Amino acid sequence: MKKQALKVYTLEEVTDKHIGQRGTPQREAFENELRLDLLGDAIREARRARQLTQEELGQLVGVQKAQISKLENSMTDARIETLLKVFKALKVRVRFEVEMV
């Protein structure tokens, strides 16, 4: 009995099929949420690398511990000003990219 080869799909193909094509509102919402998750992860990793608690980072930035937790868990739409203060307190360089579509 001959085994049939499995069909392999790219991440882009799966995302297009289950989330929506690029440019659709569903896909844009998904991409934005993914970016926020990555930003939250970056904040958490940098904070831990600096051996700071959420409370300590909050004190450096001038916000409550709960706000740092929300940023790390991507549960809030933070202002750019707040994000820049967080990264400055963590002594990390940030680059923003704007892409014309």
For 28-53, what is the mean pLDDT? Answer: 86
**CA–CA dist 41, 84 (Å, integer):** 15
**CA–CA dist 29, 15 (Å, integer):** 13
The residue ranking higher by pLDDT, 38 or 89, is 89
Give the start-to-end residue ranges of the domains of the chain.
Answer: 11-89
Using a cut of 0.85, tell me whether the model's pTM lies above it.
no
User: Cα–chain-centroid distance for residue 101?
Assistant: 21
Q: What is the pLDDT of residues 44-82, one digit of tens each?
A: 999 999 999 999 999 999 999 999 999 998 887 778 888
Helix (H, G, I), strand (E, B) or coil at 4: coil
The C-alpha angle 88, 90, 91, rounded to 5 degrees, equals 60
Which overall architecture, per CATH, does domain 11-89 show?
Orthogonal Bundle (1.10)
pLDDT > 70 in the chain, percent: 94
